[in-house]
């Protein structure tokens, strides 16, 4: 265990917001975690800091569960079960899987953050969500130091949502996840997302490998999402709203070009990026925060933004989208104070 007091969290959140933590504790084993839980002191658990907005200094201890390790725990003819310790960086896991020819997470390349955070919001991109390959989640309950196991079915996964954001919010440290990945000859590629098939076609690849798909995703993401090491951001700041079809048909009368994706017979999903873009927010600034020029769903730390700058910009966008389209956008990013 390593303890730093006090500690600037600037390098620990991808927005690069400069706030202080009373103390920062790097936890290096399960035993250390269990010992800390028994002390039962107020704390904030940080993953990769890629889906949060820090609003002010943090008075409680900040915990980082930094245990790493990736291993095949069971092998079948067509698939393997892989256990990944929470401290692994998600993209490193994707690269490991591609290198070992294990399929299922290639569409999720370059998503920032650590593996332990992945189930919380059921990370997803390009037609694949974590729930499609997740097998189990292991966690420790902070207040009791009890070790818990969640099978996929008990995780209550939905679009950017899970039991870990609801009943278990802030109560657990996820210590490892188990994924079910396909073996060579049994891969089921998901090329449904137009940009992937278009990129592969442009490259003359008709029978893509999982490596080809991962590379296409890396290139697409790099072309429109800002690199967190250069421009502070937390990916999509808002969720894509799901609305009743009747409401959508009304909107279509005023906005005939509105983009949409089918969900079920009653509801439809709209790209929040389209709503924000057409409302004129791209490139607009508030304090040091700005709406990204290449993807309107992403808010960025353009110039030494504070958490309040980003928060106020997001509130203005929510109010403007509500006024124009009558739709209330929901933040995907967690607000931390």
Instruction: Evaluate whether 43 touches 26 at the Cβ level (below 8 Å).
Output: no
> What is the closest distance, in whole angstroms, from the C-beta atom of residue 267 to ligand EPU in the complex?
15
Q: Does position 115 bind ligand EPU by CB under 6 A?
A: no
What residues does 164 pair with on adjacent strands?
none
Which residue's CB is nearer to ligand EPU, number 70 or number 95?
95
What ranges in 255-297 are assigned the alpha helix state H?
272-278
Q: Is 160 a catalytic residue?
A: yes
Number of H helices, E strands in the chain: 7, 21
C-alpha to C-alpha distances, 254 to 127, 165, 250, 257, nearest whole angstrom: 29, 35, 7, 9
Which residue's CB is nearer to ligand EPU, number 96 or number 159?
159
Buried b (16+ CB within 10 A) or exposed e, 14-50: bbbbbbbbebbbebbebebbbebbeeeeebbbbbbbb
Binding mask 125-164 for ligand EPU (x = CB under 6 A): xx--------------------------------------
- Distance between the two ends of the chain, CA-based, in angstroms? 25
Q: Is 197 a catalytic residue?
A: no
Which residue's CB is nearer to ligand EPU, number 259 or number 319?
259
Q: Does position 273 bind ligand EPU by CB under 6 A?
A: yes
Of 274, 308, 320, 327, which one interacts with ligand EPU (CB under 6 A)? 274
Q: Does position 259 bind ligand EPU by CB under 6 A?
A: yes
Segment contacting ligand EPU by CB under 6 A, of 82-90, 91-99, 171-179, 271-279:
271-279
Which residue's CB is nearer to ligand EPU, number 142 or number 302?
302
The Cα 98–Cα 95 span in angstroms is 5
Question: Which two three-digit tokens encode residue 50?
Answer: 């890629």
In the set 88, 106, 129, 160, the catalytic residue is: 160
Cβ-closest position to ligand EPU: 235
> What is the closest distance, in whole angstroms, from the C-beta atom of residue 160 to ligand EPU in the complex?
6
Of 64, 85, 295, 314, which one interacts with ligand EPU (CB under 6 A)? 295
> What is the closest distance, in whole angstroms, from the C-beta atom of residue 219 to ligand EPU in the complex?
13
Pick out residues in 218-247 that bind ligand EPU (CB under 6 A): 225, 235-236, 239-240
Q: Does position 271 bind ligand EPU by CB under 6 A?
A: yes
Q: Is 236 a catalytic residue?
A: yes
Q: Does position 290 bind ligand EPU by CB under 6 A?
A: no
Q: Does position 217 bind ligand EPU by CB under 6 A?
A: no
Query: Which of helix, strand or coil describes residue 334?
Result: strand
Q: What is the CA radius of gyration of the chain?
A: 20
Number of Cβ atoms within 10 Å of the Cβ of 151: 11
Closest CA to 88 of 106, 64, 108, 52: 64
- Listing DSSP states for 2-24 in one string gives EEESSEE-GGGSTT----EEEEE
Active site residues: 160, 236, 332
Chain residues that interact with ligand EPU, rule: CB under 6 A: 125-126, 225, 235-236, 239-240, 259, 271, 273-274, 277, 295-297, 332
């Amino acid at each position: 265990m390593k303890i730093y007091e006090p500690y600037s969290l600037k390098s620990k959140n991808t927005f690069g917001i400069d706030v202080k933590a009373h103390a920062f504790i790097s936890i290096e084993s399960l035993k250390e975690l269990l010992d800390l839980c028994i002390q039962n002191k107020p704390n904030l658990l940080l993953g990769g800091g890629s889906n949060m907005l820090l609003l002010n200094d943090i008075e409680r201890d900040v915990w980082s569960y930094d245990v790493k390790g990736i291993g095949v725990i069971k092998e079948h003819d067509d698939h393997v079960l892989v256990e990944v310790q929470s401290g692994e960086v998600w993209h490193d896991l994707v690269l490991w899987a591609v290198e070992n020819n294990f399929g299922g997470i290639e569409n999720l390349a370059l998503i920032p953050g650590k593996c332990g955070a992945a189930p919380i919001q059921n990370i997803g991109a390009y037609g694949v969500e974590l729930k499609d390959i997740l097998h189990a989640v292991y966690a420790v309950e902070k207040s009791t130091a009890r070790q818990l196991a969640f099978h996929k079915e008990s995780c209550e996964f939905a679009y950017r949502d899970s039991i870990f954001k609801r009943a278990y919010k802030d109560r657990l440290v996820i210590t490892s996840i188990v994924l079910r990945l396909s073996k060579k000859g049994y891969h089921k590629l998901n090329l449904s997302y137009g940009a992937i098939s278009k990129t592969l076609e442009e490259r003359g690849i008709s029978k893509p490998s999982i490596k080809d798909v991962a590379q296409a995703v890396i290139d697409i993401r790099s072309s429109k999402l800002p690199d967190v090491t250069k421009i502070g951001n937390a990916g999509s700041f808002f969720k894509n709203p799901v609305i009743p079809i009747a409401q959508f048909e009304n909107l279509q009368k005023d906005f005939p070009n509105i983009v949409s994706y089918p969900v079920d017979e009653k509801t439809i999903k709209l790209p929040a990026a389209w709503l924000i873009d057409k409302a004129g927010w791209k490139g607009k600034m508030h304090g040091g925060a700005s709406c990204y020029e290449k993807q309107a769903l992403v808010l960025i730390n353009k110039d030494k933004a504070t958490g309040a700058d980003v928060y106020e910009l997001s509130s203005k966008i929510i109010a403007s989208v509500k006024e124009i389209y009558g739709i209330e956008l929901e933040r995907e990013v967690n607000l931390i104070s």
